[in-house]
Amino acid sequence: MVLESSRLSGRSRLQQPVVDPAFIADCCLLIAKCRSLNDC
């Protein structure tokens, strides 16, 4: 697929690892806390 190849080349060019699913989960928890505490 064109999308796959372009994404792989972009990733290798930036030298960035794949985002950790646990990191995303932590962000979601922080946002949920923020909303429940501050209604933001």
Residue corresponding to tokens 């994404």: 7
pLDDT digits (tens, 9 = 90+) for 1-40: 455 665 666 655 566 667 788 888 998 999 999 888 876 5
Looking at residue 15, its pLDDT comes to 61
H-only helix segments in the chain: 2-14, 21-38
Global pTM reads 0.41
Looking at residue 32, its pLDDT comes to 92
Looking at residue 38, its pLDDT comes to 75
User: What is the Cα–Cα distance from 22 to 16, expressed in whole angstroms?
Assistant: 17
Residue corresponding to tokens 């290798």: 12
> Do residues 40 and 34 lie in contact, with contact meaning Cβ atoms separated by under 8 Å?
yes
